[in-house]
Amino acid sequence: MSKSLLYRLFGLRKVPARARERLENEGIVFDEEGTSCALYYKNFRCSHKYSGRGWESLAVGSLVITRRSFYIQFPYMILCDKPVEDVVKYLELELKGPDKLVMKFEVEKIFEPSTGSLTCYWRTDNASAIFNHICDLQANHAGC
């Protein structure tokens, strides 16, 4: 259910080989490469995307979480490849059912150079496991 048809047919949002090798060496915890998602933009600006307000409902994205890195790739070259402890403090999470994870990003801190608002609705069977893992990381970071 989690892999999009465009990913299965054309490899859309495939993690580049060099990045994939590095992520595998770090120990992948969750690998949601080529996953179906919906994006909601509000006054969003980055180097390749400008949007006043709108939805992109048939998007394909990649989310890979390792023991050290948080890798996200969305359409229009919106990319994040940062240490996981730096990213989790700038995420708001919500679980909408067993297979839908909502991530609201503080884009100025995560996707540089960007401004505005970006929310992603991931459709994945691992939604609750990813939610719990990130919540644990956020709790550990808050306790430090």
**CATH number of the domain enclosing 53:** 2.30.29
Q: What is the pLDDT of residue 60?
A: 83
Single-letter residue type at 71: Y
Residue 118 structural domain: 5-139
User: What stretches of 46-126 show up as alpha helix (H) in DSSP?
Assistant: 84-87, 107-110
Residues 6+ apart with CB under 8 A from 94: 101, 102, 104
Has residue 56 been placed in a domain? yes
Give the residue among 9, 8, 36, 33 at the shortest CA–CA distance from 23: 33
Number of structural domains found in the chain: 1
Tens-binned pLDDT, residue by residue, of the chain (144 aa): 456 555 555 555 678 889 999 999 999 999 998 888 899 988 888 877 767 677 887 788 889 999 999 999 887 777 899 999 999 999 999 999 889 999 999 999 998 788 899 999 999 999 999 999 999 999 987 653
Phi, psi of 67 (to 5 degrees): -65, -20
Q: Is residue 25 part of a domain?
A: yes
Considering the domain boundaries, does residue 144 fall inside one?
A: no
Q: What is the rounded distance in angstroms from the CA atom of residue 103 to the CA atom of residue 113?
A: 19
Whether residue 116 lies inside any domain: the answer is yes
Residue 26 lies in a domain: yes
pTM listed for this prediction:
0.85
Residue 72 in domain = yes
29 within some domain = yes
What is the pLDDT, as a whole number, of residue 15? 82
Compute the CA torsion angle 31, 79, 93, 54 (nearest 10 deg). Answer: -120
- The pLDDT assigned to 75 comes to 77
* In contact, 63 and 32? CB cutoff 8 Å: yes
Q: What are phi and psi of 132, to 5 degrees?
A: -65, -40
Q: Is residue 9 part of a domain?
A: yes
